């Protein structure tokens, strides 16, 4: 996994740093944020989360190319961020 970035939780304003070797999903869970998930590989879509600001780096195979281009959702189990901060609807 490349680069470090920060996830901001829009509802609480919390800032969560995501390290190079961590998934967003793991960071969210470690912070006590409940996000449903199943496969952990970006295949099933269970963890799809709404992105309010920032640019996700999509590594999933669940969302379509058009959905990737919209940049308004991503799979936190595997995807990363191209921007320094990714604001999630959580």
Q: How confident is the model at residue 3 (pLDDT cuts 50, 70, 90)?
A: confident
If one counts every other C-beta atom within 10 angstroms of the C-beta of residue 5, the result is 20
Cα-based torsion angle of the residue sequence 31, 21, 1, 54 in order, rounded to the nearest 10 degrees: 30
pLDDT at 2: 59
pLDDT tens digits, one per residue of 19-51: 999 999 999 999 999 999 999 999 999 999 999
For the cut 60, the answer to whether the pLDDT of residue 7 exceeds it is yes
pLDDT at 44: 97
Contact between residue 61 and residue 42 where contact means Cβ atoms under 8 Å apart: yes
Q: Domain tally for the chain?
A: 1
For the cut 50, the answer to whether the pLDDT of residue 71 exceeds it is yes
CATH number at residue 17: 3.10.20.30
Domain boundaries, position 57: 5-88
């Amino acid at each position: 996994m490349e680069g470090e970035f920060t996830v901001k939780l829009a509802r609480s304003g919390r800032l969560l740093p995501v390290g190079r070797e961590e998934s967003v999903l793991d960071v969210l869970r470690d912070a006590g944020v409940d996000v449903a998930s199943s496969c952990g590989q970006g295949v099933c879509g269970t963890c799809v989360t709404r992105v309010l600001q920032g640019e996700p780096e999509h590594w999933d195979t669940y969302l379509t190319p058009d959905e990737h281009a919209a940049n308004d959702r991503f799979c936190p189990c595997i995807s990363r961020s191209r921007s320094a901060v990714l604001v999630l609807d959580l």
